[in-house]
Every structure is written in structure tokens, then in C-alpha cells.
A and B are shown apart, each in its own frame.
Chain A
Amino acid sequence: MTSFKSYFKSHLKANIRPLIYILATVLVLTFLIGVENQPTSRYDFELQQYYQDYKSTLNTPVIFLCILTYVVPVMEFSFFKKRINLDCAYSMPISRVAMGTVHYLTGLITLFGAFTASYLVNFALLLSRGPGYFNFKPMAEHYLLALLLGFAIYSLMVFIFNEANTKGDGIWFMILYTFVLILVMGAINRIIGDYNIFSSGTSSIPVALIISMTSNYKYLVEIDSAQRATFWSSPEYVSWFIFWVVAGIASAVGFFLTFGKRRMERTEEISDSFFGFRTLIPIYAFTGMITFRVSEMIIFWVIIELLALLGYTIYRRGFHYKKSDFIILASLIIFLFIEI
């Protein structure tokens, strides 16, 4: 416990510089965007009247939150992707789980700290415009919900990044996980016969859900807004919200269960995790092919086959394909001929 506390202090101290840089950037940009925000006069055709569109700039802190849920895991856990660092870290008198927890918590502090600071600056700027323009009550709710989703996405990205054996592969995993469900949704919609392939897909991108949620809360905050739809009236949003929060909690649990068991000697080697390329490339390839399941789009199939090959080249770091890779690639071709 002493080592945990002292390492936490030491790690925070060592990371104070990047933390300050992030905070400064976020605060300056939030301030500049907030100051530049001017109300505009618009005409509502339904109500047949002009109204002032006072932008609440609620998106500003949320966009920073979204960016940081990807940047912070890379910042905090890149340390564990180099053998030279692990020789030192793993021989120190602190358990691996405790060390991972320190990095996880430091990341969370960075994320929440930057988001909260940006939110407060934005709030102060809105407040400075005087009474009657904004309804501030929904902001507290929005702040907490965004924070919850931020925690979920951060935890998911921490888990995914740590499934990779190199920093580069970790970044690939994060990118691929961001869009994997939209393709799965597209494929499902195709199979069940809904040709509007991405009809309910955007919220399957976790950061897109925060943006959608924020857009809805903006309508509540902006008093003169003509729209009054709420985030919670959409079953699609609610179910995706619950899904991502549960996924985030599961990822956090998964991270703590697996972090201490990772074999140091796999670091810098091929990232062979079940949660990585091994599963993601076939999912992307097959869902891609199902989604574009029309003969006129055969060119897409060829592109998907080539992208799968490129995926395996990145996965294997060269042309050292394995039998399982060829099986997937061959299956894709067979799948193509069956469809033709």
C-alpha cells in the first residue's frame, strides 16, 4: 500500500507537465470559442417568427472529452509497451495491478480534470451573458452524464489499448473498435432486410453518442430554441447509453483482471490478443461484405478483400501470413462467389 501511494504521488508529479499542457490548451480553446460565440437571428417557419439562436457551446467541453478518451489511454499506458520500461517497472516492489491502477486513475484525473475545467469556463461564459438567455438546470445533468460516458469510453479504450503488445497496434485497436459496431449494425440491418443500412448505427460509435446527447441537451439549455426533443425520449439513445456504460464497466473490470497477468515477454511482439486483429479483421471483412451485398458493388468486395489483406499485413508486420489468415481470406473469396 505504501508503494501504491508513493508511486501514485510520484507518477502524478512526473505527469504534472503534460497535465498542465492539456489543461492550458483546453481552457484557452474553450475560452476563445466561447468568446467568439455570437447570437444570430433566425426565422422559424413552423412558428412563423424570428428567434435568437443563442449557442450554448455545450459541444466544446464534450469534444475535448471525446478527444481525451482516446489520447489519455495512449499517454498513460504507452509506458507498458516497451520492454526497457518493464524491466524497471516489473522488478520494482509494487504489484503490477497496483501500477496499472495508478496509471488508470491518473488518466481518469486528467480526463475529468480537463473536462470539468472546460465545462466550468464554458458555464462561466454563458453566465456572463446575463439572465434570460440560457436554462442552466439541465447542464448539471448533462455534465454528469457526459462524465459517465467519458468514463465508459476511457475504460473501454484503456482495456483495448492494453490488449495490444505495441503502442501502434494499440492505436489501431482503438480505431477499429470505434467503428466495429456500426458495421455489425449495418450487417444485421441488411440480414433482416432493412436497406437503410445505417439507420440506427451512429450511436454505436461511442463518441457519437455523447455528441448526440449533447445536441439534445443544447436544445434544453438554449431557452429560445425551437426544438424541445430530449435525449431520454429516444429508446435508441437510451439503449445505446446503457450499452456503453455497461461496456465501460465491463472493460474496467476486464482491465483490472488481465493487467497483472500480462506476460512481459510478449511486449513489442505481434499483438495476438483475441480482442485484437485476430477477431477484428474477420468482423470488418465479413460485415463489410454483408453490408454491400449487391452485385453492382462487386468493386467494394474487391476493396474489402484487399483491405483484409492489408489488415493482415499490419497485424503480422509484413508478409508473414499464417494459415488462419489465408483461411479467412479464402473464406471471403468463397463468400463472394456464393453471393455472385
Chain B
Amino acid sequence: MIEITNLSHSLGAKTVLRKINLEIPDNTILGIVGINGAGKSTLLRLLAGVYLPDSGYIRYDDRSPADAETRKDIFFLPDDPYYTAFMTPNTLFDFYKTFHPAIDRESYDRLLGAYKIDPVGKVRNFSKGMRRQVFIALALAVKPRYLLLDEAFDGLDPLSRRIFKDAIISLVEEGKTTVLIASHSLRELEDFCDRFILIDNNVIKDQGDIAEHVGRLCKFELAFTEAVNEGLFAGLPTASLMIKNRFVQIVLEGDSDEMRERLEALSPAVIDEMPLDFEESFIHDVRKEGMIL
């Protein structure tokens, strides 16, 4: 289990994380979400032992990531990973083997094959997506106990994303790996994360199960026989409201059946419940907190 207690960290004069407390059970896929600059990458760097916390602590089963021994169980894939001008996927593998001697060559080759990556091509000549694929293959070949991923889906095509997700899910299902993944692509997190945390204003603003979180809101589209205005919806727990003459799109907080009944009481000509995904739910949350307009 990963245990974060009263963790605070500043970058220069700017406080990035303040008194973070979190417990992450083993074999979990945790999505870390937040707007740009919220502190997602800082949290991952602290978890990886790259940054040393200003105060508070992180424990991996009572071990600190500041100890090199603990980091044998951790693989951190940053947003912009390291490689030199002469490195190829093969030499990168050798480099990582230096630190993770148990890295699985077969798994690495299989994933490179699935991604159609030339193992002797220069990494610097690869596209961003191809580079990302190489590092994902490395991360999965290491089979770490704790996998920390920062913007891991960036630059990946839909097929690569699917391969990646399946590989992560099978790692977790084998009961060996806990995955922490920070991403802007919330739609990508929705279908495979067990839990999420929302970081805002230096603290964890919200956390829990993604499906439950999304279920707190419901979205409807309505059509009226004549033009309507905002006043009609005044009594409702509105998260967002968009009116175009006779047509309305509304997101409400609460149980969808109850909200449908209350909307039907307004006598719309048509009422349809629309699916709401994690990204929309996140946007409503951050709007509510005044983080974005």
C-alpha cells in the first residue's frame, strides 16, 4: 500500500501541494486529475523519489522512496522521458536492465512488435507517439510493483492506447502492480481506472470511484414548444445550463430519475437523458470551483 501523510511541497516560492493525505491500496489503478499546474506531475515526482518532500512523508509498505532499495519496485515514466542522441530501443533496454535486472526481454520485444517499432532505429528520430510506445514497452517489461505514469496516453493512436490499457489491466489483474496515472485525457481514464483523485488549489479536492462520481450528475436535453429562459430552471440543482431558444441542455446534480420527474413537471415537448462521461463531470466540478470559466 502507498501511504501519503501530510505531504507538502513547494517549487520556489509557489506552494504546489499542501498537506496531502492519501492511501492507495495495492492492485489499484488510480487516475490523478486536475487542471494544468495543479500539481499532478509534482505528486508523481515525489512518489518516484525524484523530489524530496518539504514536509510530510510517503511510504511504500513502510519504505521511503528516498531509499534506492524502495525504488527497485517503482517505475516512473515522466511526460518527457530521457534518452540520448545515440540510443535505440535495444540500447534503452540495456540501460534500464542496469537498474532493473529482471526486466522481461520477451515482453519488451512482443510490445515493440505490436507497436511496429524498429528495435535498432534511433529513438531521437521517432515520432512522439513512437517514443512513448518504446517507453511504455519498457515500463511494462519491468513489471514494477508500482507504476507511475505521467500523461502516458499523449501522442498514442487509439490502437496503441488499447494495447497499453489491456497490458496495464492484465498486470493489475495478475495482482502484481499498482498503477498511478496522471492524464488530461479523462475519457481515457474513465474506462480503466478504479479510483481517481482531483487535485486543485494544492489539495485533494475530491476522490473516489469514477462511476460513482459521474453518477452524481445527470444530463438532459429538452425541447419546448416555445422559447424559454433561465428563470424556468431556477429551482433545480443545476450544474450547467445551455439554452438556445426552445432547446435546452442541462446538467443536474442528483439522482437521474428524480431529476427527470422534476424536469417533466416543466412540460417540455421532448426530454432525453444523455450519457455523461468523466470528462464532462470533471469540467462541471472545476467550473463549480471557479477553476475555469
Please give the residue numbers on chain A whose beta carbons come within 8 Å of chain B beta carbons, in ascending order: 2-3, 6-7, 9-10, 14, 84-95, 98, 263-265, 269
Contact = CB atoms under 8 A, between A and B. Distances in A.
A84 B75 CA distance: 15
Count chain B CB atoms within 10 A of each CB in A91, A263, A265 and give the residue with the most.
A91
B52 A263 contact: yes
B68 A93 contact: yes
A87 B100 CA distance: 16
A7 B94 CA distance: 11
A93 B80 contact: no
A92 B51 contact: no
B110 to A, nearest CB: 23
Interface stretch (B42-50, B123-131, B170-178): B42-50
B76 interface: yes
A315 B74 CA distance: 37
Contact of A94 (B68, B75, B84): B68
Count chain B CB atoms within 10 A of each CB in A94, A98, A269 and give the residue with the most.
A94
Given A87-B81, A91-B49, A91-B50, 17 more contacts: A3-B99, A7-B98, A7-B99, A9-B98, A14-B84, A84-B78, A84-B80, A84-B81, A85-B82, A87-B45, A87-B80, A88-B81, A89-B82, A91-B75, A91-B148, A92-B68, A265-B12
Interface string B183-209: 000000000000000000000000000
A269 B11 CA distance: 11
Interface residues of B, number: 28
B40 interface: no
28 contacts: A2-B101, A3-B68, A6-B101, A7-B99, A14-B84, A84-B78, A86-B50, A87-B45, A87-B48, A87-B50, A88-B78, A91-B71, A91-B75, A91-B76, A91-B148, A92-B68, A92-B71, A92-B99, A93-B69, A93-B71, A93-B72, A93-B74, A94-B68, A95-B68, A98-B68, A263-B52, A264-B50, A265-B11
A269 B12 contact: yes
Contact of A87 (B12, B74, B78): B78
Contacts of A89: 82
Contacts of A263: 51-52
B198 to A, nearest CB: 23
B98 A87 contact: no
A226 to B, nearest CB: 53
B65 to A, nearest CB: 8
Contacts of A88: 78, 81-82
Contacts of B74: 91, 93
Contacts of B82: 84-85, 87-89
A14 to B, nearest CB: 8
Interface in B61-110: 68-72, 74-76, 78, 80-82, 84, 94-95, 98-101
A233 to B, nearest CB: 50
Contact of B94 (A3, A10, A95, A264): A10
B48 to A, nearest CB: 4
Nearest to B84: A14
A84 B78 CA distance: 8
Nearest to B47: A91
Nearest to A270: B12
A90 B50 contact: yes
Contacts of A84: 78, 80-82
Contacts of A86: 50
Given A88-B81, A93-B69, A265-B11, A6 B48 contact: no
A94 B51 contact: no
Interface in B200-221: none
A87 B76 CA distance: 8
A27 to B, nearest CB: 24
Interface in B1-16: 11-12
Contacts of A264: 45, 50-51
Contacts of A91: 48-50, 71, 74-76, 148
A85 B80 CA distance: 9
The 3 closest A-B pairs by CB, nearest first: A88-B82, A91-B76, A91-B48
A10 B98 contact: yes
A10 B68 CA distance: 18
A264 B11 CA distance: 10
A277 B267 CA distance: 74
Contacts of A87: 45, 48, 50, 76, 78, 80-82
Nearest to B9: A265
B94 A265 contact: no
Contact of B51 (A7, A9, A93, A265): A265
Contacts of A7: 98-99
B239 to A, nearest CB: 37
Contacts of B101: 2, 6
Interface string B207-248: 000000000000000000000000000000000000000000
Nearest to A5: B98
